Amino acid sequence: MNAAPQGSHLVHGRRQRPDGPAPVDVISVQSQLVYGHAGNSAAAPPLRALGLRVAEIPTTLLSNTPFYDTLRGRMLPADWLAELLRGAGERGLPQRARALVSGYFGTVGNGEAFADWLDATLPAAPALRYWLDPVIGDTHTGPYVEPGLERVLVERLLPRAWLLTPNAFELGRLTGQPALGQAQAVAAARALLARGPEWVLAHSVGGEPDRLVTLLVGREAAWRWSTPYLPVDVAGTGDVLLALALAAALRGDPLPQAVSFALAGVHGALEATLAAGHEELDVQAAAPAALAGAGRFPAQRLA
């Protein structure tokens, strides 16, 4: 997809326009859906509900998640994604935003296109903090990205990230070591810290029966949360977890407090989904549940 030429019907002027650039808080480079909630379609609603301005850059345009018997749309070609990223740079978004999020790329080409843009962008935007959701797959699905994308995540994106948010399966794939249990996950997270990030927020780690463990591992300390397992399998919970934690961190909360805030929101959204009997995550319930759930899931410091 080439840039529109000046003679194109897509390019036109406006009679009146203020000169001031519009503010943006978060650039979110993730998948996008017509129906349901994953990627940008899960992360943007709670971010906006908490007052943040989000610039969404899609890596896919799909009708729905792959849980249904039909799936329409496609992953964006790498040159399309590169053009959208270039356009964001031309509008100066990286210099104004406070955080950059990346999630599902799907293809090696999309991962490489983003990595190339990141290499060129971060030196010119030193205040932009990069949150990487290394989407690869899950324990019940296996990998659902192209072979080779994991190499891009490990070699090109992970060293640039400030914080990484893998699930337990992805944590194991990124490190090549077991990570499904708490002790294993902490060890794997510390192995990732040696490659560049300041923090690893690992979720969907095995815990006591009927409970899930979330871990925040930094260079000096680690924290643990235990939350009840709810019998509902919907997409988007990891995306909402990252979004809510990011929102709390941007308002100045210490990271352990931000994770507690995020877990209250995710759990509240899951409870609302079950109560309504809906097939998709109730993302509109996430921000109110996070705001109302202070102290619901306190952090336990491990070290």
Tell me whether residue 30 is in a domain.
Answer: yes
pLDDT in tens, 126-152: 999 999 999 999 988 899 999 999 999
Tell me whether residue 2 is in a domain.
Answer: no
| pLDDT of res. 32 | 98
Q: For residue 47, what are the β-bridge partners?
A: none
Tell me whether residue 210 is in a domain.
Answer: yes
Instruction: Name the band, by pLDDT with cuts 50, 70 and 90, for residue 41.
Output: very high
Q: Count structural domains, the chain.
A: 1
| pLDDT of res. 282 | 98
Calculate Rg over the CA atoms of the chain: 19
Q: Does the pLDDT value for residue 4 go beyond 70? A: no
Tell me whether residue 156 is in a domain.
Answer: yes
Note the helical H segments in the chain.
40-49, 78-90, 93-96, 108-121, 149-152, 168-175, 182-193, 237-250, 255-276, 286-292
Give the dihedral sign, CA 3/9/13/19.
negative
Which CATH number characterizes residue 259's domain?
3.40.1190.20
Tokens of 292: 């109302």
Domain that holds residue 111: 26-293
pLDDT in tens, 212-269: 999 999 999 999 999 999 999 999 999 999 999 999 999 999 999 999 999 999 999 9
Tell me whether residue 222 is in a domain.
Answer: yes
Tell me whether residue 302 is in a domain.
Answer: no
Tell me whether residue 153 is in a domain.
Answer: yes
46-61 burial: b if 16+ Cβ within 10 Å, else e: bbbbbebebbbbbbbe
Instruction: Name the band, by pLDDT with cuts 50, 70 and 90, for residue 19.
Output: confident
Tokens of 217: 């591992």
d(CA 274, CA 289): 14
Q: Does the pLDDT value for residue 201 go beyond 60? A: yes
Tell me whether residue 13 is in a domain.
Answer: no
